[in-house]
Structure 1
């Protein structure tokens, strides 16, 4: 698969698009005044401990307190105290295999026998944390809606080849590195550096480290060693709540985590950003420096490569399929609902209804996964495919959906509900979806996407006049309404206006007012 990274950057925002075979697959946005907090490490203060929920609220200096589960605290308090005091045994525990790049050991990383773990009593949040206590936490999930950030005490800082975990003390190796000799070589490099520099903390060796020279691995280790020394100094000097470590910029994160030989080009329109990326790529993957290119045209880079058109489509609910069918995507507070329709596609003369439905569903399965990635949808996602009679066809669509989902880096699980033609997907949500980042709720309809019909407002007006009529004391009445309602009262709903006059026993003056919302009206005695 051919990939490209397209970066549009200015003083106000940076946007990056990942193209897969010339099709936009992912969009990432970072705005100067709305920089995300996921990955940041804070010195926080516990505000409230909730034994009933086995969790705590931690003040990290944001608008809302962060949420900390007991599972994200267990076994880390003792380790934090040991690291902060600078004493304790810093020799690594051998073993502790990492289950892939994203894996990280829970607790302090020391290996325990199953018998010992089973005998250990379950720890309660009230025994681990107290209100007013200071604690080091890392944001793992951005604040979303009315919810505060989700944090953990199991901090981890990724590099290009390694992941550093201050609260662990073992060395793990990605299981994707299957050579015993290579695993041993990489562990040896890390052990030697730790012994020579008195470097505490756990290390996971990422897949990208395979067959890399010793200098590259030690480069990450030196960076972590200096960073942790700086963070410990900040922990001692700064008062909670305070930021101890800022996550890297958007483009640096993308290159650090995703850059590989599949990328044929990295195109950047900002000269300063281009220079920064050149330096970064030269350090971590010098063989790809020539693929970093500066886009110098005046014409916007996102327009040039068709990215802007995809962004504009991604904030609409309806997505057309090439066959003429379409899918409708609706985000709600509880879940994302996706509906599949045949639309203008009526199939071929040689095929039957089932063939038409299967073709539409297969095309929709591919597009749904692309839209999920493009829009960065998370939580519970329910895809309602068109009903199919043949069980084999239902299985065929489910397999196509699963196959496309393998391209997605975000952790997810799927469940097929065969009898109803549904596929339910749960996808990890770390930050706001693309729509939530680029749009605001409509101020006119308060985000509901509907307003009362003109007829409904006319009937509401009649009901209101009946309620307050006796209080008007025989005065003349003026109705101040939105111009659209004034027109309806004088035309389609003229009967309502006559009923108003009959209820009041006198004539009614209708006064259009463009300043009034469609649903607003005033009944005034004159």
Structure 2
């Protein structure tokens, strides 16, 4: 399967698409007015310590104070493998109000929630991750070949003991196949970077960022430019030169794959990426078989419902359901990556009575999720026939970046019917009649509501005028949306 990275540079926005098999699988967006914060390191100051929550609020210079839980702090050495984790110490033993603390953003602010912090700092480079406060070494679990894992463990352990025995070092997935010289050079770079960060942190004022992650285009090269990526195309000459220099320094074996795109069509029109973005902002996702998914994202969780739609199959009902669910499992895995959905996710597949069919669907889902760089955990079908899963969430979803709540429904996804609004107006007129000694009333409302009020129905105003013995006039206001109205005593 061919894989490409497309980079679109705008005046105030950078967009990156990871394309696999001629279809966009991941979309990353960074805007000048709204930078992602994950990975940034700040010198913060503790504002409040909350013993009941085992957490603290820390001021790091953002719009809202950030949240630091005791589980994300240095809490002493871990036990042996298989042992229960040691009990967490009271937060009051670790922090006090007014204390300065060096923290890293784990999760961007989401909705009304502030950023999530950690004192367990990590600084990534191309091949390695430096852990300044956790003295252990390891290899990414995504590297499955046992011989390669052992080779990397030996190299990392030797380099760690020689250069930084007090620090921890993790070999990233990109380290697979890298030689010892490249890994050591990577570690030496990280140590120089950490020395610079430490020096700045000692003198910086609280609320200051002491280390920021790379710009999006460079971060994507560092994190996604693996051996399976055939080429990286970028549509801006100046940024192309920067990326090529960055690639020559950090990923020299892949520098030749970075190309300047000079085609006549916009770069995101290749492979229909713009269309994929538009479709990723809708609730409904059509399947090739005629079925469809319905995706609803809430603050608590994301739900995905699978429907057969127009697909009727050619054999029997069970085979139709299995085929739809198998196709849906592939589409779900792609949509999770494309929309960057995270947290708790509930999948409502079409009900299957056959246990073997359920197992096939779960295997298909897990197979597709293996290509996802975000950590996922899938659980078996529940007694209600639902599949619960989690996907690690760090940055905001594509929908949260590109959209905002509807001004009419205020994010509810629905508006009151005309009939409901008419009943509300009638009640408001009755309330105003008891409250004011008015000779008449004027109702201002949306045109379709006024039209319904004027009709000779129980919802109309004729019966209400007779009941109150006072005239009621209406006035259509095109600027009012369907739920808005005013009752004015005259």
Q: TM-score range by the shorter chain?
A: over 0.9
The verdict on how the C-alpha distance between 1:451 and 1:267 changes in structure 2, with shifts beyond 3 A counting, is same
The residue number in structure 1 matching 2:277 is 311
- Is 1:330 equivalent to 2:299 in the alignment? no
The residue number in structure 2 matching 1:124 is 90
Q: 1:49: how far off?
A: 1.0
- Is 1:452 equivalent to 2:416 in the alignment? yes
- Is 1:178 equivalent to 2:178 in the alignment? no
Task: Indicate conservation of the 8 Å contact 1:41/1:246, yes or no.
Answer: yes
Structure 2 unaligned runs (5+)? Answer: none
Distance (whole Å) between structure 2 residues aligned to residue 221 and residue 156 of structure 1: 13
Distance (whole Å) between structure 1 residues aligned to residue 42 and residue 478 of structure 2: 50
Distance (whole Å) between structure 2 residues aligned to residue 501 and residue 341 of structure 1: 49
Distance (whole Å) between structure 2 residues aligned to residue 266 and residue 71 of structure 1: 39
The verdict on how the C-alpha distance between 1:253 and 1:414 changes in structure 2, with shifts beyond 3 A counting, is same
- 154, 157, 160: which is aligned to 1:187? 157
Q: 1:494: how far off?
A: 7.0
Task: Indicate conservation of the 8 Å contact 2:70/2:88, yes or no.
Answer: no
Task: Indicate conservation of the 8 Å contact 1:327/1:339, yes or no.
Answer: yes
Q: 1:112: how far off?
A: 7.4
Distance (whole Å) between structure 1 residues aligned to residue 183 and residue 445 of structure 2: 71
The verdict on how the C-alpha distance between 1:313 and 1:113 changes in structure 2, with shifts beyond 3 A counting, is closer
Distance (whole Å) between structure 1 residues aligned to residue 321 and residue 86 of structure 2: 56
Task: Indicate conservation of the 8 Å contact 2:103/2:118, yes or no.
Answer: yes
The residue number in structure 2 matching 1:50 is 50
Task: Indicate conservation of the 8 Å contact 2:285/2:294, yes or no.
Answer: yes
Task: Indicate conservation of the 8 Å contact 2:302/2:346, yes or no.
Answer: yes
The residue number in structure 2 matching 1:33 is 33
* Cα displacement string for residues 101-157 of structure 1 (whole angstroms, at most 9, x for unaligned residues): xxxxxx57xx8779xx99987522111111000010111111111111111111000
Task: Indicate conservation of the 8 Å contact 1:40/1:243, yes or no.
Answer: yes
SS at match of 1:373: helix
Distance (whole Å) between structure 2 residues aligned to residue 121 and residue 476 of structure 1: 71
* Cα displacement string for residues 5-34 of structure 1 (whole angstroms, at most 9, x for unaligned residues): 111112211111111111111111111110
SS at match of 2:8: strand
Distance (whole Å) between structure 2 residues aligned to residue 183 and residue 456 of structure 1: 67
Segment of structure 1 superposing worse, 407-416 or 338-347: 407-416
Q: TM-score, normalised by structure 1?
A: 0.87
* Cα displacement string for residues 317-337 of structure 1 (whole angstroms, at most 9, x for unaligned residues): 001100111110011122111
SS at match of 2:399: helix
* Cα displacement string for residues 197-256 of structure 1 (whole angstroms, at most 9, x for unaligned residues): xx9633223354355345423432332232222212211221101101001111212211
Q: 1:503: how far off?
A: 2.3
* Cα displacement string for residues 242-291 of structure 1 (whole angstroms, at most 9, x for unaligned residues): 10100111121221122122111111111122112211222233232222
Task: Indicate conservation of the 8 Å contact 1:466/1:503, yes or no.
Answer: no
* Cα displacement string for residues 343-367 of structure 1 (whole angstroms, at most 9, x for unaligned residues): 111111xx01111111111111111
May I ask how many residue pairs the two structures share in their alignment? Answer: 486
The residue number in structure 1 matching 2:398 is 434
The verdict on how the C-alpha distance between 1:336 and 1:226 changes in structure 2, with shifts beyond 3 A counting, is same
The verdict on how the C-alpha distance between 1:520 and 1:393 changes in structure 2, with shifts beyond 3 A counting, is same
Task: Indicate conservation of the 8 Å contact 1:74/1:123, yes or no.
Answer: no
* Cα displacement string for residues 173-210 of structure 1 (whole angstroms, at most 9, x for unaligned residues): 5564635566434433444444xxxx963322335435
The residue number in structure 1 matching 2:70 is 70
SS at match of 1:496: coil
Structure 1 unaligned runs (5+)? Answer: 76-106
Equivalent residue runs for 1:17-416 within 5 Å: 17-75=17-75, 107=76, 122-174=88-140, 176=143, 178=147, 180=150, 183-194=153-164, 201-210=167-176, 212-348=178-314, 351-416=315-380
The residue number in structure 1 matching 2:432 is 468
Distance (whole Å) between structure 1 residues aligned to residue 15 and residue 38 of structure 2: 17
The verdict on how the C-alpha distance between 1:453 and 1:154 changes in structure 2, with shifts beyond 3 A counting, is same
Task: Indicate conservation of the 8 Å contact 2:139/2:172, yes or no.
Answer: yes
Distance (whole Å) between structure 1 residues aligned to residue 174 and residue 434 of structure 2: 80
Task: Indicate conservation of the 8 Å contact 1:394/1:421, yes or no.
Answer: no
The residue number in structure 2 matching 1:507 is 471
SS at match of 1:388: coil
Q: 1:495: how far off?
A: 5.1
Distance (whole Å) between structure 2 residues aligned to residue 418 and residue 60 of structure 1: 42
Distance (whole Å) between structure 2 residues aligned to residue 509 and residue 219 of structure 1: 81
SS at match of 1:34: coil
Distance (whole Å) between structure 2 residues aligned to residue 311 and residue 119 of structure 1: 42
Segment of structure 1 superposing worse, 445-454 or 474-483: 474-483
Consecutive aligned runs of 4 or more in structure 1 exceeding 6 Å deviation: 111-114, 117-121
Task: Indicate conservation of the 8 Å contact 1:382/1:425, yes or no.
Answer: yes
The residue number in structure 2 matching 1:479 is 443
Distance (whole Å) between structure 2 residues aligned to residue 174 and residue 337 of structure 1: 30
Task: Indicate conservation of the 8 Å contact 2:155/2:180, yes or no.
Answer: no
Distance (whole Å) between structure 1 residues aligned to residue 442 and residue 89 of structure 2: 69
The verdict on how the C-alpha distance between 1:327 and 1:173 changes in structure 2, with shifts beyond 3 A counting, is closer
Task: Indicate conservation of the 8 Å contact 2:139/2:152, yes or no.
Answer: no
Task: Indicate conservation of the 8 Å contact 2:55/2:67, yes or no.
Answer: yes
